[in-house]
Structure 1
Amino acid sequence: MITPPPPPAPHRRVAVLAVAAAVCLLAAGCSASGGTSDSNTGSVGAAGEAGLRVALITHAPEGDTFWDLVRRGAEAAAAKDGIELTYTGDPDAAGQAELVRDAVREKVDGIAVTLARPHAMRGPVAAAKAAGIPVVGLNSGIDSWRSGGLLEFFGQDESLAGRAVGDKLDDLGARHALCVIHERGNVALEARCAGVKKTFRGETENLYVDGTETKAVSAVLTARLRQDATIDEVVTNGAQFALTAVASVKEAGSGARVATFDLNKDLVKAVRSGAVQFAVDQQPYLQGYLAVDSLWLYRTNGNVSGGGVAPVLTGPAFVTKANVETVAKFAAGGTR
């Protein structure tokens, strides 16, 4: 039996963007800073009946459109539930850990966090638990959330997704796959490529690039394709990197095809045209939405999704030329 949570702490500050939150609920398209998504920090909310304050803390770098989708989902849930939501992100593990500690010091009512590097989050999560603050996980860390002391987890089984991609590459007749990892040490990206290698009958090779520098990604990928003409498949770990890979294949004069994990509106166009074979959609908007909404449910009704023992899976789902139109309108609206 789940012990009912303690009552939420009193609302400590006035939510400054209640109107923006309401707009986000209707349009599901603005950022936490009231309409822009340039910043990696921001707050949105409405002082609802419960008066809850929630911090969403990710390992997102600046300018990554994937995280815009996570953030929009979180904002929609916050607006619905009357939550004052603060969003922050830092790709540096120590920096992200400090953001969690900041949220603990601010005595928020709940924290949602990604576990790209689970070891770095153990101390901050323990501090949150000691302060009576529930913590849920999303996106990264499906193998570590329970041992790390989190209440719930929302995301994709990355190893399973990788194995599904390996099977699909076999069906497509690929022989030599290059799996591009844009953030070294990120457990989710490593698990994906390891999963591909487990089931793909051809050769799988990992290529590490600096995802914060698009030109560098392009240069490294183009050079590798020129070096080895046997590479006939490039698998990327983000929609924007797939589009970069398409250009690199052309520049290198390679015959390789491109497939990717993750989706955005530009990637939908590439799948529709055939420039990208397929995308694996983990539904980031849903991850952000469920993570924030779950904290509201826990604090107001003692609910725990998955019973605290099983993750809530949001993927994988394949988006191909055959079914891309079913998600195209949602992608155009900024929610897929």
Structure 2
Amino acid sequence: DPEAGRQAQLVQQAIDQKVDGIAVTLATPDALKDVLKKAEDAGIPVVSLNAGESVSAQLGAFTHFGSNEQLAGEAVGTKLAAQGFKHPVCVIQQQGHVGLEARCAGVKAKVPGTEILYVDGKDMTSVQSTATAKLQAAKDADVIIGLGAPITLTLLKSVTDASSSAKVASFDLNADLAQKIVDGAVIFTVDQQPWLQGYMSVDALWQAKRGGFKLGGGQPVLTGPTIVDKSNASDVLKFAQQGVR
């Protein structure tokens, strides 16, 4: 559930049902710390995935499956810098989301001219108009970065609406975005392989139950960053169409 309070309620319901394990994403860790302490007190093993690597252990998870978002951002920034980009616009669709903020911080660490643009990710019409206005105002913007496939696909429309020469880059992946990379409309994306995160999280909890196994040695298990660009997008596309990338 995208609402932090509702997510905490869902975790509480799982505790009440005496489940064998809980896999949870920690996009808003402050909203979950109390209920995860209850899970720990109840002896329910917890793993985190996708977001919240930096706080996973302190909130009681025995490991985290995901991409280091700062590292992913730096990978994007390094690739952009190598291609000569100097003025990226990094679009954050949920202010305060620790993973999204870290992604843009990583980009900015490698390309200091990066600007942050906050949009309302729940309203794609607003995303499109806000990004269009930014591109019209920031004539030196040479690349705009979406932090998720649906956002990036909307930013393509903004570039057209603004008659901007800015290129488009992305984080994350779906089949439509993979096709845009194949077509050359998006220059690249960084994939954190979320299908794999979910699979490994459930498997880790199962192994903890069946044999007391604990993966990760107390450290996160990284599933990214993995660059998808013109050189490998065609290979990735077939898996994205199957829903596993």
Q: Normalising TM by the smaller chain, what interval?
A: over 0.9
2:156 partner letter = V
Equivalent in 301, 308, 315 of residue 224 of structure 2: 315
- Tell me if the contact between 2:87 and 2:111 (Cα under 8 Å) persists in the aligned partners: no
- The Cα of 1:105 is off from its aligned counterpart by 0.9
Query: Take 2:157 and 2:227, find their aligned partners in 1: how far apart are those partners?
Result: 22
Query: Take 1:108 and 1:149, find their aligned partners in 2: how far apart are those partners?
Result: 16
SS state of the match for residue 143, structure 1?
helix
1:310 partner letter = Q
Equivalent in 13, 21, 25 of residue 110 of structure 1: 21
Give the equivalent residue in structure 2 for 1:236.
Answer: 146
Q: Which runs of 4+ in 1 moved over 6 A?
A: none
Equivalent in 278, 284, 287 of residue 194 of structure 2: 284
1:171 and 2:101 correspond: no
C-alpha distance after superposition, 1:193-250 (max 9, x if no partner): 001111115x111101111111010010001111111111101100111111111101
Give the equivalent residue in structure 2 for 1:127.
Answer: 38
1:138 and 2:138 correspond: no
TM-score normalised by the chain length of structure 2: 0.98
Equivalent in 154, 158, 162 of residue 73 of structure 2: 162
Give the equivalent residue in structure 2 for 1:327.
Answer: 236
- The Cα of 1:315 is off from its aligned counterpart by 0.3
Query: Take 1:268 and 1:165, find their aligned partners in 2: how far apart are those partners?
Result: 17
SS state of the match for residue 147, structure 1?
helix
Equivalent in 184, 187, 193 of residue 98 of structure 2: 187
2:228 partner letter = V
Query: Take 1:205 and 1:246, find their aligned partners in 2: how far apart are those partners?
Result: 18
Equivalent in 118, 133, 150 of residue 208 of structure 1: 118
1:254 and 2:164 correspond: yes
Q: Whose Rg is larger?
A: 1
- The Cα of 1:326 is off from its aligned counterpart by 2.0
C-alpha distance after superposition, 1:123-169 (max 9, x if no partner): 11110111111111000001000111111110000000101111111
Percent identity, please: 50
Query: Take 1:148 and 1:323, find their aligned partners in 2: how far apart are those partners?
Result: 37
1:275 and 2:185 correspond: yes
Tell me which protein shows more helix as a share of its residues: 2
Gaps of 5+ in 2: none
1:227 and 2:137 correspond: yes
1:254 partner letter = S
Gaps of 5+ in 1: 1-89
Query: Take 2:100 and 2:29, find their aligned partners in 1: how far apart are those partners?
Result: 13
Query: Take 1:143 and 1:173, find their aligned partners in 2: how far apart are those partners?
Result: 31
Give the equivalent residue in structure 2 for 1:304.
Answer: 214
- The Cα of 1:102 is off from its aligned counterpart by 1.1
Query: Take 2:60 and 2:21, find their aligned partners in 1: how far apart are those partners?
Result: 14
